Amino acid sequence: MTVMNSTQRDEWKQRGMVSILVTMMLMIVISLIVLGFAQISRRNQRQATDRQLSTQAFYAAETGINDARNLIKAAISTNTVIPQKTDCNLGSGPAAAFYGSLSPDIDAANNVAYSCLMVDPSPKELVYDSISSRGTVVPLTAATGTISTLKLQIVTKDTTTTPATGCPTSVNNTFSSATAWSTSGCGFGVLRFDLVPTTGSLNAGILQDKTMTSFLVPMRTGGATSIGYPAGTASTNNANNRVGVRCSGTTCTMSITGLNASQYYMRVNSIYKDIKLIVTATDSSNTVVGLNGTQAVIDATGKAQDVLRRIQVRMPLIPVNNSLISDYALESSDSVCKRFVTMDGYFQSYAASAVSGLTSVSTPPDPLCL
């Protein structure tokens, strides 16, 4: 039997203490690692659950959008007024009667629904994501009062950081070719608009005299921020038929002042490049007014347990907002045979030799008018 002296016993005690400390440290480290992996696992599980709930909430919000669209479509087909819904509750009056048929609960057992639905049939901003060379008709009817100023914001669809770099620095009466504009590097198109009031007594002559036609040319330097509506004759209304518009960043802004009617119609199209267009209107006190009968903004919030998703869409309130008015005097999908005869008093002509009963004149009184 081996007998340890006191020194040996102390060494064994120290070794045992070190082993205990090392073991405890290892246990702590392993426990922290296990806890870390458990936390990561719980986080991943929660993220997967949140993604699933987020998808459910998104679809719930889409259901709310579609339910509201179906109500609005039915109202349009029956010429029924679409009331404004400004909060999440049905409230009372016309809004409660109109939206009372909505069924927001989609899966009550799993707490899936669209928790809030708001509808604005008179938005203060009209947004058109793609204005092309094809004409788009924009009805502008003030919800209250009259329209004094229209603000047009031309937003580029170009992805470059400086879309106005290649745009013109001056405006003249000559348009560039499509190829020249494309190679110039200008990220905006030239916006053409025809603006006419449609209130009061109207006939062809009045519409012609009151129609303002302008081409807004994007400028990389200079350019105007506003032009006046010339309420005179057709000749004076065309005084601003080609105007440079000031551009900053990705937006060119032009205000049309001097308006004084509750309803206008505007036809817009973009030459060279498609653009996004934002239209707002203000009254004489510079207050932004709502615009009826053009677009409705539908705002829906979907809920899946504690996860929320919100969607906002714009729904046109007219069946088709482009091609309501032809872009041309004559348009055909097939070839057109044209035959022109020049008449006396309209242009200098020699039609008498070809048409019986006409007398040729060397110089008509007004070569451009009957």
pLDDT digits (tens, 9 = 90+) for 254-304: 999 999 999 999 999 999 999 999 999 999 999 999 999 899 999 999 999
Q: How far apart are CA 163 and CA 150, in angstroms?
A: 24
- Of the candidate ranges 57-66, 145-154, 237-246, 270-279, the one whose mean pLDDT is the lowest: 237-246
The answer to whether residues 268 and 274 touch, using CB atoms and an 8 Å cutoff, is no
Q: Report the percentage of the chain scoring pLDDT > 90.
A: 39
Do both 345 and 310 map to the same domain?
Answer: no
- In a domain, residue 162? The reply is yes
Phi first, then psi, for residue 71 (nearest 5°) are -60, -45
Residue 49's pLDDT band, with cuts at 50, 70 and 90, is confident
Q: How far apart are CA 146 and CA 199, in angstroms?
A: 11
pLDDT on residue 345: 54
Do both 86 and 156 map to the same domain?
Answer: no
Dihedral of CA atoms 213, 219, 224, 230 in degrees, nearest 10, equals -10
For tokens 């009805």, the residue is 139
When pLDDT is averaged across residues 64-89 and rounded to a whole number, the result is: 90
Do both 248 and 148 map to the same domain?
Answer: yes
Domain count, the chain: 3
Residue 338 pLDDT greater than 80, yes or no: no
Do both 306 and 352 map to the same domain?
Answer: no
pLDDT on residue 14: 62
- In a domain, residue 331? The reply is no
- In a domain, residue 8? The reply is no
Q: Is the dihedral of CA 238, 275, 124, 76 positive or negative?
A: positive
The pLDDT mean for the chain works out to: 82
Residue 340 pLDDT greater than 70, yes or no: no
Choose the final residue of a domain: 224, 258, 286.
286
Residues whose CB is less than 8 angstroms from the CB of residue 228 and which lie 6 or more positions away in sequence, other chains included:
240, 256, 257, 258
When pLDDT is averaged across residues 126-131 and rounded to a whole number, the result is: 93
pLDDT on residue 348: 45
Residues whose CB is less than 8 angstroms from the CB of residue 251 and which lie 6 or more positions away in sequence, other chains included:
153, 154, 155, 156
pLDDT on residue 35: 82
pLDDT on residue 89: 84
Residue 16 pLDDT greater than 70, yes or no: no
Do both 210 and 68 map to the same domain?
Answer: no
Residue 341's pLDDT band, with cuts at 50, 70 and 90, is low
- In a domain, residue 173? The reply is yes
Per the model's pLDDT, the better-predicted residue between 72 and 93 turns out to be 72
Q: Which of 89-98, 325-334, 350-359 has the highest mean pLDDT?
A: 89-98
Do both 280 and 254 map to the same domain?
Answer: yes
* Spacing of C-alpha 276 from chain mean position: 6
Residue 349's pLDDT band, with cuts at 50, 70 and 90, is very low
Q: How far apart are CA 206 and CA 277, in angstroms?
A: 28
Do both 57 and 188 map to the same domain?
Answer: no
Residue 352's pLDDT band, with cuts at 50, 70 and 90, is very low
- Nearest 5°: the CA angle 202, 204, 205 is 90
Residue 224 pLDDT greater than 80, yes or no: yes
DSSP letter string, 191-216: EEEEEEE--SS--HHHHHHH-EEEEE
Residue of 302, 191, 311 whose CA lies nearest to 253: 191
- In a domain, residue 197? The reply is yes
Residue 61's pLDDT band, with cuts at 50, 70 and 90, is very high
Residue of 262, 296, 297, 295 whose CA lies nearest to 281: 262
* Secondary structure percentages of the chain, helix, strand, coil, to 5: 30, 30, 40
Residue of 80, 226, 75, 96 whose CA lies nearest to 153: 226
Tell me the pairing of strands 136-142 and 263-271.
antiparallel
Do both 238 and 308 map to the same domain?
Answer: no
Where in the sequence is the domain holding 182, given as residue range(s)? Answer: 131-286
Do both 159 and 245 map to the same domain?
Answer: yes
Residue 370's pLDDT band, with cuts at 50, 70 and 90, is very low
pLDDT on residue 1: 52
Do both 63 and 111 map to the same domain?
Answer: yes
- Of the candidate ranges 6-10, 78-82, 157-161, 344-348, the one whose mean pLDDT is the lowest: 344-348
When pLDDT is averaged across residues 29-34 and rounded to a whole number, the result is: 82
* H/E stretch holding 308: strand 307-316
Tokens of 265: 């119609």
When pLDDT is averaged across residues 132-159 and rounded to a whole number, the result is: 92
Residue 339's pLDDT band, with cuts at 50, 70 and 90, is low
- In a domain, residue 203? The reply is yes
Residue 230 pLDDT greater than 70, yes or no: yes
When pLDDT is averaged across residues 100-128 and rounded to a whole number, the result is: 91
Do both 158 and 278 map to the same domain?
Answer: yes
Residue 12 pLDDT greater than 70, yes or no: no
